[in-house]
Every structure is written in structure tokens, then in C-alpha cells.
Amino acid sequence: MSHGSNSIELEASGKQQPVPVSVDASARPPADSNIYNVTRTRKVFSFSQLFAFSLTYMALWEGMCSNMYFALFNGGPQTFLFSFIIVFCGAISQAASLGEMASIQPVAGAQYHWTFYMAPQSVKRFATWIQGWSTWFGYVSLLAAIANVTIILLESMISINHPSYVAGGWHTSVLVIAMCLVHGLMNVYAFKLIPWVELVAGVLHVCLFVIFVVVLVVMGPRNPSSFWLQRNISSGWDNEYIAWNLGMLTCVWSFTGFDSAIHMSEETRKAKSAVPRAMFWSIFMNGVLGFIMVNVLISAMGSVEDMLEQPSQIQAILLNVTGSNKATTAMIAGLFIISFSVNLANIASVSRLTWAWSRDGGMPAYFAYVSPTHRVPTRSIILTVFLVCALNLLNIGNTSYVAFGAITSLSSLALYLSYAIAIASIIYVRLSGSSIKLGEWNLGCFGLPVNVFALVYTLYVIIFLPFPSTLPVTGENMNYCGPVMIAVLAIAVGLWFTHARKHWNGPNLTILDVGSVPKCPETLHGLLAALQHQHAVPMLPLMNWRLLPGLFASAADYKYRFYFIEDFGTNIAAPANREKEGTKALYLRDSQGATTTYAPTCRHVVYNKEQLLDDSRVIQESP
């Protein structure tokens, strides 16, 4: 078997017969690259589990309960209601656009991989580099913010029952660290349980919504219909247009991170269909639930002035409606459980993004390691937990929330920048006349209009994300989103010119199933078609390959028998050392009993059981 040419060589009956494959040599790693050997994970998510993961991750109606302050502060009920509708439409278009790309290539790196494929040749490496760092920084800061919000809910329950308790400061930091350590351990030692935890959380997410709506509608007061159109600007902004758009950012933040499901692609079965469907329909369902909750909250809340005076608006509403500390505590406990599961899912998602970015050369390859025992990226999980704990130490001190807010305010701007680059790239491909093979989940003739609307919406929101929410601006109320984003971009650009421009060729394509390389047998069907063309081997029906778990064999009367040894490990690039190094390969046995190894040098693709039986991955070979 040759590793130095763009061909697949099959050794059978004592001679080599090459099957030519046209592949860009830059898609291969260096000869001494071992990154592929340590970056394989287990596919544990079904569609329903990934849907529940994404549904709970968004926790959108819960976000409306917890984060209504700035919408009321910069516009009142009118802004709260109508900005939600606009953001819902914009987020749906973003999800649909990213869903198309996820169906083409579901991969943990997501946006930056798609940018590398679709951006103009002259800028694609630089755009991908900026994209990768922006996405990673955005998700780390989003995780830190969600962890903080989760503990604030816990402290809210404590303060209801113990009025003398003073929340914040080092209390918050210690509780965040404890929670993240628990979540980190679960992600390492009990990851198989996480899909089921998220499935249960998804059911609770819907059930708790029903409970909140019934309690607030049946027991709560009724504001007059004119209250929905009431405008209230308490932020100091004289320009109502700017104030309204700043109030809209409450909803923008709650819709951020809908792409989390994509970062679990490599651990999802039939990812090309499951990932885009889970992402799109979870955001649609969350949007519907969120819209209902916004209307229920507006109906049941007191005056805007009273709401703005409360440290926690949802706590004040529930206490007023139920008149009971115990009932309010129980309902906030439900919000805490959902937020707790969101943080658990977020650590899983962010660690996969860290793992992918390390595997692709953006960060040290050390963090791309996957534990052969647990089959999870343990080092990236540890790094993720460490960073979140370190960021939450900023809660300690008199100016703690200013410092912490400076970091977490980055999340929306960084992620929206990553969305904009990816969506602009697919628009470029469509308008430039380049051929693009869409996945099975696509927008058809509506693709370009939806992409354009998503890009316009994304860029529009980016304009207002750095604006201060309050005037006059002080050190305490300043929006540090812009300065922090500039610092992040400065770091990324500095790394580009000092290292990446000369030494980084783009994402590691050896881990991908690239449908744009039609001659490369990337599934069992493709392999059989190539063999049939070269050796007149009959095409074998899939039913004959389901004989034993982990072992696929043809019927005895065919010329070749194919064996797939699933438990050997991950490396198919070194078949000679398969038993020593744990090689995973496809074996061919001819009618005389001679055994040889088939390893596709063009792609280094792992043929695991899910891939072999996944009809969505079938590539028909042209003779």
C-alpha cells in the first residue's frame, strides 16, 4: 500500500492494482502527523436525543423569564414583544442557513470548516482562522455566562427563604466552580448518560413551561391590552430607535448558541440529516414557547417601574402571583434544573469545539486527544472547565461584575461574527456559479433568499451589540463587548502573522467525509463500486453485511469476503502494526484465503458501523 500517491492500492492474489483517485494533496496531513490516531469519538446521540439536547440547550422561554430586564429598561413591553418576533425570524433564517451547511458536512468545527470550503480562495485561510478563534472565544464566554446565570438562580432560591443571605462575590465563584467540576466529571466518566439526561431535561423543559403558563394565567393579574404597546425608556437614551434596538438584544442573547448541536455532529448517528433537523426544529419549537411566555409575562407583571426596581423580575412576578415562598422556590428550582442541564450540555459542546479547533491546528494538538478508555476528548473537557472556573473568579472583588461582564459580553458579538462569515461564504458560492452539492436537508430554491436575509439580519444586530445600554456611560455600566472583541481579533491576527500565515494550511481534512470528492470511496457502497469496476466483483447487498456485530461478511459464493474489525481502535494508516497500535481497517479475503488490507490513502476515512449502514453517506461511483 502506497502512502505517497493519490491512489488507492488494493493488494489481492499477490499483485497490486491501483484505483486512481483525484484528491488535492493539501488535504492530507504531514507524513508524521498522528493527529488522526487520537481524535475519534463514539456516536451516542440519536436524532431524538440530539433534538432534546438542542431544545434544552436553548432554554429560550426560561431565558425570557430570567433576562427580561434590559428589554423593559430600553423600551418596555412593546420592545419585549415585537423585538422577540424580529429576532425569532432572524434566528430561524440563521439556523436554516447553517443547517444547509451542516447537512453538507456535519463536523464539530462547524462554521470554520464550512468557511474553508466555501470562502474565496484568496482569503479562505485567513477567514477560517478568524472564524475559528471568534467561534471558540464566543462559546467559552457564553458558557461562563450561563454558568453564572445558573448559580444566580440558586442564590435567588436561598435569598427567598433566608432574607439575610447576601448573594454574589466569592459565593457565586465557589458555587460555579463546584458545579462545573461536577459537570466536567460527568462529561468524562458518564458521557453515555448525557444524551439521556438531556432527553429527560427536554421533557421537563416542556412540562415546566405548561406549569408556568397555567400558574401565571390562572392565578396572575391581567394587564389591559394597551399595556402591550406601552413604551418605557429608562436608560437615558433620547433616541428611541437606538433604545429599541438595544432592548432587542435581550432576545438576541437568548437565541444565541442555537448551533450547539452542530458541535456534537461527530457523536451523532446519521448526522447529515439528524443535525440540521434537530437544530432547526428545536429553535422553531423554542421560539413558539418563548413567544407564548413573553405574552404571559407581560400579562402578569406589575408596572414597568416596579419591575425595574426588583433584583429579579421573575422572582417578583412569581411571589406576587402565588403569594407563597415555597411555591416560588419550587418554580425557580425548575428553572435551575433546566439551567443546570444547559450548563452540562454546554460543557459538552464547547469541549468538542475546543477539541476540533485543536485537531485542526488552531490550538495545541495536545487538546485534540481522545481518551481510548472513555472515548471522549478529556483534555479539552479539562481545559474548558478550567477556563470557565478561572473566568468566574472575576466575580470576586468590588468591581467583579464589571470585569466578568466584560468577558461574557463577548459571546453574542463573537458568535454573530462567526455566523456572518459562514453565511457570507455560502452566498458567495451560490452567486459565483461554483458547483455545490447540497445535503439531503436543504432550502431548495429558497436557499439564496433565506441566506441573504440571515446575513442582513446578522450584520444589523452586530451594529448594536457594542452600544452601551445606559447613558451616561461610566466604568460600571459600560458595554465592554466592543473593546474585548477588538482584543480577541488582535490576538487572532497577531497569531496569524507570527505563525499561521506560513505554517497553517487550514483545517485537518483527513477526518472528513467530503462529498465533493466523488472518486474517493468514502463508504462501503463506494468501496464496492470501485472494486466492482476494477475486479468485476459483484455488488453485495447490504443485508449480507449484517451477520454479526462488528463483523461484516459477504455471502460465501462471492470472490471476496470483507471483514470490518470494529474493536481494534482508530488508525487505518498503519495496517502492518494493526494489532500492536490498535488499527481499525477493512480486510479483504479472496477465494484462495489470502488476506490483505484496504486503507484509503486519499482520505484516511474510518469505516465504522454507523457509517457503513448509514444510507445518507452513500456515494455512487462513476465507472
* pLDDT tens-digit map of 557-578: 223 333 333 322 232 232 333 3
Grid coordinates representing 117 are 470550503
Instruction: Report the DSSP beta bridge partners of residue 127.
Output: none
Residues 276, 102: contact at Cβ < 8 Å?
yes
What integer is the mean pLDDT of 229-237? 88
Mean pLDDT of all residues in 545-564 = 30
Q: What is the CA 316 to chain-centroid distance, rounded?
A: 34
Mean pLDDT computed over every residue of the chain: 74
pLDDT above 90: percentage of residues in the chain: 28
Residues whose CB falls within 8 Å of the CB of residue 32, separated by 6 or more in sequence, listed in order: none
Kindly list the distances between the CA atom of residue 146 and the CA atoms of 89, 138, 160, 216, 294, in Å, as whole numbers in the listed order: 24, 12, 21, 25, 20
Q: Which domains does the chain show, CATH number per domain? A: 7-23+517-617 (no CATH), 35-451 (1.20.1740.10)
Please write the tens of the pLDDT for every residue from 256-281. 888 888 877 777 888 888 889 999 99
The per-residue pLDDT for 546 is: 28
Calculate mean pLDDT across residues 501-515.
65
| Residue 214 pLDDT | 95
| Residue/partner pairs of 170-176 with CB below 8 Å, 24 or more apart | 170/395, 170/396, 172/148, 172/392, 172/395, 173/392, 173/393, 173/395, 173/396, 175/151, 176/147, 176/148, 176/150, 176/151, 176/388, 176/389, 176/392, 176/395
**pLDDT reading at 614 higher than 60:** no
Count other C-beta atoms under 10 Å from residue 337's C-beta: 17
Look at the block and give the residue holding cell 408556568.
212
Please report the DSSP string for 569-610 in residue order: -SB-S-GGGHHHHTB--EEEE-TT--EEEE--TTT-----HH
- In this predicted structure, what is the pLDDT of residue 573? 30
- The yes-or-no verdict on residue 25 having pLDDT over 80 is no
**Cα dihedral 264, 266, 269, 270 in deg (nearest 10):** 110
Which among 535, 510, 548, 541 has a CA at the least distance from the CA of 588? Answer: 535
CA–CA dist 12, 597 (Å, integer): 9
Mean pLDDT of 307-318: 88
Q: What is the pLDDT of residue 261?
A: 81
Q: Is the pTM of this model over 0.75?
A: no
Average pLDDT over residues 402-412: 70
Whether residue 266 contacts residue 45, with contact meaning beta carbons closer than 8 Å, is answered with no
